[in-house]
Amino acid sequence: MQRRAALALVAFLRLAAEEPLHEMGPFPTREMFPLYLPTMAYQPVDPVPLGRGRWRWALHWIEANTFQFSDIFEQYGPRDAVGRVAVTQAAFAAAAAAYPDAPTLYFFDEEIARFEVEGRYGLSDQTDLWIRMPVQNHTGGFLDPLIETFHKLGFEQYGRALVLQNQVALAVARHGQVVFYTDERILGKTQDPVLGLTHRLLATPTWTLSTTVSVKPPLTHTYDVYRSGWDQTYGLTGAWRLPGRHAFYFGAGFVHRPHGSPEYTDIGFKDGVGAHATWEYRRWPRVQPFLQLYWQSGYLPRQPYQHFDQPSLQHDLGVHWHWTPRTTLTFRYLNNISHWGNTADMGLGASLTAHF
């Protein structure tokens, strides 16, 4: 028994010492803002085909906190200057009633844990088929104390240290009337899958350029209310691999958002564009840090008291650890840069990827 264990250990160490047989490419950077959940957001896609008959499976986890509100809530903050006050339906309704001419007012405070299974298959040496299947938990979470500590370094957001920690409060009002409010926690909620196809257009020792299309079938409702249309993305994605220590990934795409259910359509989502740029440092074969910038256009028309018409920019800072030649662990820290009030506040992520 001991000999078998020793042989197994030797085999594992030999496997772990080998060079990775694959590259990871850009990673999906999910926008966690609640109004983005029903619709489709631009996502980076790996431009390099796997090869005919090859598989890649990944399990992604991202925990992101959202605390965003219409501008008027800087005046309607907690009445107790030294305490934390939970945002109730009555308090939100009173604030909204004071602004009957406002087209839309909102207050969102929740934490979303997104678990996503991603599968990719090589239809040919040039073309891959892929699918992403997400499940989400909506809770108060655990990131509030960490975020408040981080904000003390100079990134403070108004109201973060005043409202109740780890609460769930999602509210929307139109012309002074509350049209949506929930403070319920949601566990194990399936989201719409995304199906995609990526086809390589150009391949040289240094450059790769591919085209990608994807569609999100409207199979679920978000918050049991909002159901999207058949959202689609059309884009280009590429890689520039320099000899030595550096690799770069880039891409851009157009997102089409047709009408969905009446409640979804009433939000007023518009078509948009997105882009990503990723730098990966390859000095060490087993450990590869990376930095990814993720930009997308605003997704609602211009309205008073909010900034949803403004673009958002996020960073995704992480490291790939090639555990074995066919399995990789990835750890990430995500945060917004734009601070327009339309991006997730902060997120942590981990992924396990396996090639077959």
- In this prediction the pTM is 0.88
Sequence letter at residue 260: G
Residue of 184, 191, 74 lying closest to 140 (CA atoms): 184
Q: What is the pLDDT of residue 78?
A: 57
- Dist. CA 194–CA 256, nearest whole Å: 14
Range of lowest pLDDT (57-66, 71-80, 227-236): 71-80
CA 84, 88, 90, 92 torsion-angle sign: positive
More confident residue, 83 or 329: 329
Q: Is 16 helix (H, G, I), strand (E, B) or coil?
A: helix
More confident residue, 260 or 29: 260
Q: What is the pLDDT of residue 146?
A: 83
pLDDT tens readout for residues 200-230: 999 999 999 999 999 999 999 999 899 999 9
pLDDT tens readout for residues 261-289: 999 998 899 999 999 999 999 989 899 99
Residue of 68, 63, 65, 95 lying closest to 79 (CA atoms): 95
Q: What is the pLDDT of residue 7?
A: 54
At 151, which helix (H) or strand (E)?
helix 144-151
Task: Give the count of alpha carbons within 13 A of 349, CB side only.
Answer: 31
pLDDT tens readout for residues 227-241: 999 999 999 999 999
Strand spans (E) along the chain: 55-69, 105-122, 127-139, 169-174, 177-182, 186-190, 194-203, 207-216, 231-241, 246-256, 272-281, 287-296, 312-324, 327-336, 346-355
pLDDT tens readout for residues 144-174: 888 878 777 766 666 777 777 888 999 999 9
pLDDT tens readout for residues 99-111: 999 888 888 889 9
Confidence of residue 348 (pLDDT cuts 50, 70, 90): very high
Residue of 338, 345, 337 lying closest to 308 (CA atoms): 338
Q: What is the pLDDT of residue 17?
A: 45
Sequence letter at residue 109: D
Q: Is the pLDDT of residue 306 over 60?
A: yes
pLDDT tens readout for residues 170-199: 999 999 999 999 999 999 999 999 999 999
Sequence letter at residue 261: S
Q: Is the pLDDT of residue 10 over 50?
A: no
- Dist. CA 250–CA 119, nearest whole Å: 21
DSSP character at residue 124: S
253, 234 contact by CB (below 8 A) = yes
